[in-house]
Amino acid sequence: MPVEASPSLNLDLGAISRELDTASAWDILRWSVETFGPKLTMATAFGPEGCAILHMLSHVDPDRKVRVFNLDTGYQFRETLELRDRVAERYGIEVELVRADSTVEQFEAANGGPVYSTEPDRCCFERKIVPLRQAVVGYDAWISSIRAEQSEHRARADVVGWDKKFDLVKVNPLLRWSRRDVWAFIVSNKVPYNPLHDQGYPSIGCWPCTRAVAEGETDERAGRWAGQAKTECGLHSLDSSQL
């Protein structure tokens, strides 16, 4: 899929993405920080990939110019929120919690109960996509921790590209990494991670829509929206019509 030039920035994103495609994650992050500075932000769900990037960012961005935030849907696991505190203690990176306009209680009361069980796409849209759109206003680029091997949608992404959904540059420094690469990095650098990964949860989202994978399930996202055709919350799909 060809990468478009940035509509708002004087950057040839296609050429940049091709040049960085074989670069290390460290070099991709350095390029991002040097190019965008305080106009660069990062959304993290505290997955192993995101934690690996936070470790690198603590070195590449010692002045903490990059704003890092988490989309707190109100349905996150306790272990995920506790990991936020461990990241702050280890790296001095205070990950901001970005929330929807309504609390979970208000949201469910207004909709006659949990929306995740009846309309999971709308739940993701209102609890994650809308807050993200608001959070990235005023920024030129955002860092994502997706990997190509995670899903069909992610396999079609570029290392650097224009994100039509959110109208800014999207940087994917770990796009070419394997799951083995991620965990080798975490172990060798003693990066803090979510303890649920040791309990059969390779991918962790909101607790109502995440389960441990069963024996024999090889898809690392098999525990997300199990039993449904849904595999993405919508943040990283390439279909801008969802907005």
Q: Which residues are catalytic?
A: 233
Please name the residue that has the structure tokens 């540059």: 169
51 is in an annotated binding site: no
Question: Cβ neighbours of residue 229 under 8 Å, at least 6 residues apart?
Answer: none
DSSP conformation letters of 45-73? ---HHHHHHHHHHHHH-TT--SEEEEE--
Please tell me the number of Cα atoms within 13 Å of 241 on its side-chain side: 1
Distance CA 209, CA 177 (A): 26
Residues belonging to the chain: 243
Beta strands across the sheet bearing 168-171 = 96-98, 67-71, 40-43, 141-143, 168-171, 160-163
Q: Does 123 belong to an annotated binding site? A: yes
Beta strands in the chain (DSSP E): 40-43, 67-71, 96-98, 141-143, 160-163, 168-171
User: Would the annotation count 206 as a binding residue?
Assistant: yes
**Contact between 217 and 232 (Cβ < 8 Å):** no
Query: Which residues carry a binding-site annotation for [4Fe-4S] cluster?
Result: 123-124, 206, 209
